[in-house]
Amino acid sequence: MQERLSPTQQQLIEAFQRGFPTTSRPFATIAEQIGSDEGSVMAAFADLKNKGYLARIGATYATGRVGASTLAAMEVPQSELEKVAEKISRFTEINHNYEREDKLNLWFVITGATRNDLVRTVEAIEAETGHTVHLMPMIEHYRLDLGFNLQWN
Amino acid sequence: MELTELHHRLIEQLRNGLPICPHPYAVIANTLGITEEGVISALDQLIENGLINRFGMILHHRALGYQANAMCVFDVPDPMAADIGRAMARLPYVTLCYRRERVAGVWPFNLYCMIHGRDKHTVRAQIRHMTARLDLCDMPQKVLFSKRCFAQRAGKYGAVPFTAKNMAGGQHGSA
């Protein structure tokens, strides 16, 4: 996959998963830092987006300090899994939703502004799917999301 | 740091990502009805105070070639969880590491780490290395590889309590 990334795109991925500039013209700031020009940098970002590498330029938050969130899991019969997963993904409060290899086979993250919002979402999901949502809220984190390396570990 | 209504609205706007154009903060400012400087200073506050732990490119790891994503869970004695968790977090292949609440009668595991790797074979070798290195062989544990990804997008952390748009809109629109 990585062969299709241009040197500029690789450079962007290595340098700007953190510390994206908060200047008036951030793409021009980046261009200055990597020795390019604003138009080329914007084109490189747009191409990464179009090709599905870049989800968005945005923020990840310190869990527990902004809003509320919890990991959740559900046991869903295989025959219903796709339908139930689709129902859950339709909730805008869900930000990750994965099938995993276990009896508890559907894992998702519920987000909200407050804990009460989480409770309401859980109740709505249970009502809509007919399955129990098990919650595994975080107690402490030891490593937060730092982005991905292009080099393999 | 106390979050203001503006911070909440900014957080909500950032879910869509920054537009790729010469003045992206001005575009967000326009939507929020404030100045570009106002957006940048509110964002800088969130970053400087550590509420935003990372601001930048959020990537689809599967597209980048990280095809195997393992959630490793362990049932470790609570008093040992922090020490083991911190040691786990120092391993170069561990991308996330948390202590979570157990679910009585359903899920006894309290320590979680994520390993994203090129393929299952590589990730399995890393898990073997981790369990040996941290002496976890005797702890109850499971490895849950991900299969299908049904959704991966930004969390909805911003409350937008005071706007007419929010009051009128349905809660579960398509994202």
The pLDDT score that the predictor gives to residue B163 is 35
First CA to last CA distance, chain B: 29
Determine, yes or no, domain membership for B152. Answer: no
Write down the residue that tokens 């869509």 correspond to.
B16
DSSP, res A16:
S
Nearest to A58 among B58, B81, B112 (CB): B58
Q: Which residues contact B135 (CB under 8 A, 6 or more apart)?
A: none
Query: Could you say which of B58, B77, B103 is where a domain stops?
Result: B58
**Distances from the Cα of B65 to the Cαs of A3, A107, B119, in angstroms?**
11, 22, 9
Determine, yes or no, domain membership for B82. Answer: yes
Cβ atoms of B110 and B100 within 8 Å: the answer is yes
Query: Which residues of chain B have a CB within 8 Å of the CB of A12?
Result: 57
Interface contact B82-A86, CB threshold 8 A: no
What is the ipTM, given to two decimal places?
Answer: 0.82
What CATH number has the domain bearing residue B47?
1.10.10
Residue with the bigger pLDDT between A3 and A62: it is A62
Determine, yes or no, domain membership for B150. Answer: no
Interface contact A90-B63, CB threshold 8 A: no
Determine, yes or no, domain membership for B157. Answer: no
Write down the residue that tokens 């590889």 correspond to.
B145
The pLDDT score that the predictor gives to residue B9 is 94
Query: Which residues of chain B have a CB within 8 Å of the CB of A100?
Result: 71, 144-147
Nearest to A89 among B92, B146, B151 (CB): B151
**β-strand A94-100 against B141-152: which pairing, if any?**
antiparallel
Same domain membership, residue B134 and residue B85: yes
Tokens representing A90?
A: 């339709």
Interface contact A61-B85, CB threshold 8 A: no
- The answer to whether residue A2 scores a pLDDT higher than 80 is no
Same domain membership, residue B139 and residue B76: yes
Same domain membership, residue B81 and residue B13: no
Same domain membership, residue B133 and residue B102: yes
Interface contact A136-B158, CB threshold 8 A: no
Q: What angle do CA B52, B54, B58 make, to 5 degrees?
A: 125
The pLDDT score that the predictor gives to residue B31 is 95
pLDDT bracket for residue A150 (50, 70, 90): low
Cβ atoms of A98 and B146 within 8 Å: the answer is yes
- The answer to whether residue A59 scores a pLDDT higher than 50 is yes
Same domain membership, residue B82 and residue B49: no
Q: Which residue, among A13, A109, A112, has the nearest Cα to A55 in the 3D structure? A: A13
Would you give per-residue pLDDT tens digits along chain B (175 residues)?
Answer: 888 999 999 999 998 899 999 999 999 999 999 999 999 999 999 999 999 989 999 988 877 888 889 999 999 999 999 999 999 999 999 989 999 999 999 999 999 999 998 899 999 999 999 999 999 999 999 999 999 888 877 778 776 543 333 333 333 333 2
Same domain membership, residue B54 and residue B74: no
Same domain membership, residue B97 and residue B31: no
Same domain membership, residue B28 and residue B83: no
Interface contact B99-A142, CB threshold 8 A: yes
Q: Which residue, among B151, B154, B153, has the nearest Cα to B11 in the 3D structure? A: B154
> Nearest C-alpha of chain A: how many angstroms from B7?
10
Determine, yes or no, domain membership for B74. Answer: yes
Determine, yes or no, domain membership for B54. Answer: yes
What range defines the domain where residue B50 resides? 5-58
